Amino acid sequence: MGSSAAWKQLLLNAVESNSHLKHSSYFQLATIGSNGKPSNRTVVFRGFQDDSDNIQINTDTRTRKVEDLKYCPYAEICWYFTDSWEQFRINGSIDTIDASNPDPLKLQQREKTWFASSLRSRLQYLGPTPGIPSVAEETSTNPHIDPSAGPVDEFCLLVIDPHQVDYLNLKSSDRLTFTSTINSNGETLWNSEKINP
Protein backbone atom coordinates (compact mmCIF):
# COMPACT_ATOMS: atom_id res chain seq x y z
CA MET A 1 0.00 0.00 0.00
CA GLY A 2 1.54 3.33 -1.02
CA SER A 3 1.57 6.24 1.39
CA SER A 4 3.02 9.56 0.31
CA ALA A 5 5.23 10.19 3.33
CA ALA A 6 2.46 9.60 5.86
CA TRP A 7 5.25 9.31 8.44
CA LYS A 8 6.15 12.95 7.77
CA GLN A 9 2.67 14.09 8.74
CA LEU A 10 2.86 11.95 11.91
CA LEU A 11 6.20 13.58 12.69
CA LEU A 12 4.94 17.12 12.02
CA ASN A 13 1.93 16.43 14.27
CA ALA A 14 4.25 15.17 17.04
CA VAL A 15 6.52 18.22 16.69
CA GLU A 16 3.48 20.50 16.89
CA SER A 17 1.81 18.77 19.84
CA ASN A 18 5.08 18.73 21.81
CA SER A 19 6.28 22.20 20.74
CA HIS A 20 5.77 23.63 24.24
CA LEU A 21 8.66 21.39 25.36
CA LYS A 22 12.05 22.85 24.47
CA HIS A 23 13.63 19.40 24.12
CA SER A 24 11.14 18.35 21.42
CA SER A 25 13.38 19.89 18.74
CA TYR A 26 16.32 17.63 19.71
CA PHE A 27 16.95 14.08 18.57
CA GLN A 28 19.78 11.55 18.60
CA LEU A 29 21.92 10.88 15.54
CA ALA A 30 23.89 7.62 15.35
CA THR A 31 26.74 7.09 12.89
CA ILE A 32 29.41 4.43 12.31
CA GLY A 33 33.07 5.42 12.43
CA SER A 34 36.04 4.08 10.50
CA ASN A 35 36.79 1.87 13.53
CA GLY A 36 33.45 0.11 12.91
CA LYS A 37 31.99 1.36 16.21
CA PRO A 38 28.76 3.33 16.62
CA SER A 39 28.74 6.91 17.83
CA ASN A 40 25.65 8.74 19.05
CA ARG A 41 24.94 12.36 19.88
CA THR A 42 22.07 14.82 20.31
CA VAL A 43 21.46 17.29 17.47
CA VAL A 44 18.91 20.01 16.65
CA PHE A 45 16.14 19.57 14.08
CA ARG A 46 16.55 22.35 11.49
CA GLY A 47 13.43 21.51 9.52
CA PHE A 48 12.74 19.74 6.26
CA GLN A 49 14.59 20.72 3.12
CA ASP A 50 12.12 22.73 1.02
CA ASP A 51 9.04 20.53 0.35
CA SER A 52 10.92 17.23 0.55
CA ASP A 53 11.07 14.49 3.20
CA ASN A 54 14.76 15.31 3.81
CA ILE A 55 15.70 16.35 7.34
CA GLN A 56 18.30 19.07 7.96
CA ILE A 57 20.96 19.28 10.68
CA ASN A 58 23.64 21.95 11.10
CA THR A 59 27.09 20.91 12.28
CA ASP A 60 30.75 21.85 12.38
CA THR A 61 32.98 20.31 9.68
CA ARG A 62 35.54 19.58 12.40
CA THR A 63 33.29 17.22 14.38
CA ARG A 64 33.58 13.45 14.52
CA LYS A 65 30.17 12.95 12.94
CA VAL A 66 31.44 14.52 9.70
CA GLU A 67 34.43 12.15 9.72
CA ASP A 68 32.09 9.21 10.41
CA LEU A 69 29.87 10.19 7.47
CA LYS A 70 32.86 10.32 5.12
CA TYR A 71 33.53 6.70 6.07
CA CYS A 72 29.87 5.58 6.04
CA PRO A 73 27.23 8.00 4.70
CA TYR A 74 24.36 6.14 6.40
CA ALA A 75 22.95 7.01 9.79
CA GLU A 76 19.88 6.67 11.99
CA ILE A 77 18.08 9.21 14.11
CA CYS A 78 15.91 8.43 17.12
CA TRP A 79 13.39 11.01 18.23
CA TYR A 80 11.17 10.57 21.30
CA PHE A 81 8.33 12.94 22.16
CA THR A 82 7.69 12.81 25.90
CA ASP A 83 4.17 14.30 25.96
CA SER A 84 2.64 12.21 23.18
CA TRP A 85 4.76 9.08 23.87
CA GLU A 86 5.80 8.75 20.24
CA GLN A 87 9.11 7.46 18.92
CA PHE A 88 10.48 7.86 15.41
CA ARG A 89 13.53 5.94 14.23
CA ILE A 90 14.56 7.21 10.81
CA ASN A 91 17.45 5.75 8.85
CA GLY A 92 18.86 6.80 5.54
CA SER A 93 21.77 8.32 3.71
CA ILE A 94 23.25 11.68 4.63
CA ASP A 95 24.49 14.30 2.20
CA THR A 96 27.31 16.34 3.77
CA ILE A 97 27.26 19.85 2.30
CA ASP A 98 30.33 21.90 3.20
CA ALA A 99 32.03 24.86 1.52
CA SER A 100 33.84 22.57 -0.96
CA ASN A 101 30.63 21.09 -2.40
CA PRO A 102 30.65 21.50 -6.21
CA ASP A 103 26.85 21.76 -6.55
CA PRO A 104 25.71 25.45 -6.60
CA LEU A 105 22.14 24.50 -5.56
CA LYS A 106 23.44 22.66 -2.50
CA LEU A 107 25.66 25.61 -1.63
CA GLN A 108 22.58 27.87 -1.88
CA GLN A 109 20.75 25.57 0.53
CA ARG A 110 23.74 25.69 2.90
CA GLU A 111 23.72 29.50 2.79
CA LYS A 112 19.95 29.64 3.33
CA THR A 113 20.28 27.41 6.39
CA TRP A 114 23.17 29.53 7.70
CA PHE A 115 21.08 32.71 7.59
CA ALA A 116 18.12 30.90 9.17
CA SER A 117 20.31 30.21 12.24
CA SER A 118 20.61 32.65 15.11
CA LEU A 119 23.76 34.76 15.47
CA ARG A 120 24.56 32.88 18.67
CA SER A 121 24.38 29.59 16.79
CA ARG A 122 26.61 30.93 14.01
CA LEU A 123 29.23 32.09 16.53
CA GLN A 124 29.90 28.52 17.68
CA TYR A 125 31.60 27.78 14.34
CA LEU A 126 34.29 30.38 15.14
CA GLY A 127 35.26 28.62 18.36
CA PRO A 128 38.09 26.16 18.99
CA THR A 129 38.08 22.77 17.24
CA PRO A 130 35.48 20.51 18.90
CA GLY A 131 36.65 17.33 20.59
CA ILE A 132 40.31 18.17 21.15
CA PRO A 133 41.95 19.15 24.47
CA SER A 134 41.06 22.68 25.50
CA VAL A 135 43.80 25.32 25.52
CA ALA A 136 43.21 28.23 27.92
CA GLU A 137 44.23 30.88 25.35
CA GLU A 138 41.65 29.60 22.85
CA THR A 139 38.74 29.85 25.29
CA SER A 140 39.57 33.45 26.25
CA THR A 141 38.99 34.88 22.76
CA ASN A 142 35.72 36.62 21.95
CA PRO A 143 34.83 35.81 18.34
CA HIS A 144 32.82 38.32 16.32
CA ILE A 145 30.68 37.64 13.29
CA ASP A 146 29.24 39.98 10.68
CA PRO A 147 25.46 39.22 10.58
CA SER A 148 25.39 39.78 6.81
CA ALA A 149 28.40 37.55 6.03
CA GLY A 150 27.81 34.16 4.45
CA PRO A 151 28.68 30.80 6.01
CA VAL A 152 32.15 30.26 7.44
CA ASP A 153 34.14 27.26 6.17
CA GLU A 154 33.49 25.33 9.40
CA PHE A 155 29.72 25.39 8.85
CA CYS A 156 28.25 22.23 7.36
CA LEU A 157 24.71 21.25 6.42
CA LEU A 158 23.75 17.60 6.82
CA VAL A 159 20.70 16.44 4.85
CA ILE A 160 19.17 13.09 5.77
CA ASP A 161 17.40 11.31 2.91
CA PRO A 162 15.14 8.85 4.78
CA HIS A 163 14.93 5.28 3.51
CA GLN A 164 12.99 3.70 6.36
CA VAL A 165 10.96 5.03 9.27
CA ASP A 166 9.88 3.04 12.32
CA TYR A 167 7.04 4.76 14.20
CA LEU A 168 5.88 3.68 17.67
CA ASN A 169 3.05 5.22 19.68
CA LEU A 170 3.30 3.95 23.25
CA LYS A 171 -0.10 5.35 24.24
CA SER A 172 -2.02 3.42 21.58
CA SER A 173 0.55 0.60 21.12
CA ASP A 174 0.50 1.30 17.37
CA ARG A 175 3.67 0.58 15.44
CA LEU A 176 4.20 1.22 11.75
CA THR A 177 7.14 0.87 9.42
CA PHE A 178 7.46 3.01 6.32
CA THR A 179 9.86 1.91 3.58
CA SER A 180 10.80 3.93 0.52
CA THR A 181 11.20 2.67 -3.03
CA ILE A 182 12.09 4.54 -6.20
CA ASN A 183 9.73 4.13 -9.16
CA SER A 184 10.70 4.14 -12.86
CA ASN A 185 10.27 7.96 -12.99
CA GLY A 186 12.79 8.40 -10.16
CA GLU A 187 10.09 9.39 -7.67
CA THR A 188 10.16 8.18 -4.07
CA LEU A 189 7.17 6.08 -3.01
CA TRP A 190 6.46 5.05 0.56
CA ASN A 191 4.96 1.74 1.63
CA SER A 192 3.63 1.30 5.16
CA GLU A 193 3.04 -1.80 7.24
CA LYS A 194 1.53 -2.21 10.69
CA ILE A 195 3.74 -4.37 12.89
CA ASN A 196 3.69 -5.61 16.46
CA PRO A 197 4.90 -3.04 19.02
> Residue 136 class from Cβ within 10 Å (0-12 exposed, 13-18 middle, 19+ buried)?
exposed
Q: Is the pLDDT of residue 157 over 50?
A: yes
Q: What is the largest CA-CA distance in the chain?
A: 60
Cα dihedral sign, 99-155-29-45: negative
pTM of the entire structure?
0.91
User: Which residue blocks in the chain are alpha helix, DSSP H?
Assistant: 6-17, 64-71, 104-116, 119-123, 136-139
41-66: pLDDT as tens digits: 999 999 999 989 999 999 999 999 99
Q: Please state, in angstroms and rounded to a whole number, the distance separating the CA atoms of residues 182 and 189.
A: 6
Q: Please state, in angstroms and rounded to a whole number, the distance separating the CA atoms of residues 39 and 41.
A: 7
107-140: pLDDT as tens digits: 999 999 999 999 999 999 998 988 888 876 555 5
Class of 6-131+141-194 in CATH: mainly beta
Measured between its terminal Cα atoms, the distance across the chain in Å is 20
Q: Residue 87's beta-bridge partner residues?
A: 80, 168
Tell me which residue of 130, 147, 148 sits closest to 139, measured CA to CA: 130
86-100: pLDDT as tens digits: 999 999 999 999 999
Per-residue pLDDT, 51: 86
- What residue segments make up the domains of the chain, in order of their start? 6-131+141-194
**10-14, 28-32, 102-106, 146-150: least confidently modelled range:** 146-150
pLDDT band at 190 (very low <50, low <70, confident <90, very high): very high
